[in-house]
Amino acid sequence: MAHMVDCNATSSAAARHRVTTHGPADAARTLLLVHGFGTDQSVWDGLLPLLAPRDRVITYDQAGCGNCDPALFVQHHYLNLHGFAQDLAALARALGLRDAVLVGHSFGAMVGVLATLEVPECFSRLTLIGASPRYLDDGDYQGGFKEEDIRRVYQSALANYREWADAFAPMAMGQADRPDLAQRFAESLKRIPPERALTILCAILQSDHRQALPRLQHPVQLLQTSRDSFVPQPVAEYMARTLPQATLRMLDADGHLPHVTAPQQVAAALHGFLH
């Protein structure tokens, strides 16, 4: 059963981010799920039934996404991922988390890394799904995008955001035999006001957090699909080499959102990592 966190003050961090808890309140373990770009906490709906029966699971909406308080999104604060990480660190403190497990997807994964560096006592280990510290190629580093690729993304999104969302969603989702999944993702993208979506997209594509990786001493599981058009496998291999305590697990799945396309595989990987 899911329920919103009971907050006496509507201005609290939990209320602003629409924090929802799932599973038994007295569970021995707590998981905090951090969604990625273009989605909100509902993106975890297929995974939650596989986790919540045994664990307490917390979901929330990041700034500018879902039902998060729109007043929270002050653009200059979210021009890079640090603003989102500060939100997560403050939320973890407000919820009194201690040794929780952080599960982050895509840009939410790097937000989780940065937040854990700020509040290391709140989390015991991390599972990062489709994570990337930098999307732009740099010498021997293969991020998956060249400068002209990123310029084309910006130009397309600026010219017609809704058309761009309709084109981006199936590319990111994969699963050509499940067009309904891409359609739902496209609708999720289009629910975000274009100016906010573009700010978040710029924050992601301009980011470079490679120097943060060696500082993270927590055990990390990296989950990477074998066919991801947004984060290539060399990025996952780079992270596995650079993080001090990391293991890389390849999923036999398609696309950038395996918690949507292959939730059983993601749940099995999580359970194996936590036991």
Q: What angle do CA 192, 96, 112 make, to 5 degrees?
A: 45
Provide the whole-model pTM: 0.95
Q: Is 240 helix (H, G, I), strand (E, B) or coil?
A: helix
Instruction: Supply the pLDDT for residue 54.
Output: 86
Q: Which domains does the chain have, with CATH numbers?
A: 2-274 (3.40.50.1820)
Instruction: Supply the pLDDT for residue 66.
Output: 94
The predicted-structure confidence for 12-65, as pLDDT tens digits, reads as follows 999 999 999 999 989 999 999 999 999 999 999 999 999 978 899 999 999 999
Instruction: Supply the pLDDT for residue 124.
Output: 98
Given a cut of 90, whether residue 176 has pLDDT beyond it is no
Band of residue 7 on the pLDDT scale cut at 50, 70, 90: very low
Asked whether the beta carbons of 85 and 16 are under 8 A apart, the reply is: no
Instruction: Supply the pLDDT for residue 53.
Output: 84
Given a cut of 90, whether residue 126 has pLDDT beyond it is yes
Catalytic residues: 106, 228, 256
Instruction: Supply the pLDDT for residue 113.
Output: 98
Strand blocks (E) in 92-245: 100-105, 123-129, 220-227
The predicted-structure confidence for 68-102, as pLDDT tens digits, reads as follows 999 999 999 999 999 999 999 999 999 999 999 99
Instruction: Supply the pLDDT for residue 8.
Output: 37
Asked whether the beta carbons of 94 and 230 are under 8 A apart, the reply is: no
Q: What is the mean pLDDT of the chain?
A: 94
Given a cut of 50, whether residue 129 has pLDDT beyond it is yes
The predicted-structure confidence for 186-208, as pLDDT tens digits, reads as follows 999 999 999 999 999 999 999 99
Question: Which residues neighbour 53 within 8 Å (Cβ) at sequence distance 6 or greater?
Answer: 23
Instruction: Supply the pLDDT for residue 275.
Output: 84
Instruction: Supply the pLDDT for residue 4.
Output: 53
Q: Give helix 81-94 / helix 107-118 axis angle, nearest 10°.
A: 60
C-alpha distance across the termini of the chain, in Å: 24
DSSP 61: P
As a whole number of angstroms, the distance between CA 238 and CA 236 comes to 5
Q: Which amino acid is at 32?
A: L
82-108 CB burial, b ≥16 within 10 A, e <16: bbbbbbbbbbbebbebeebbbbbbbbb
DSSP 37: T
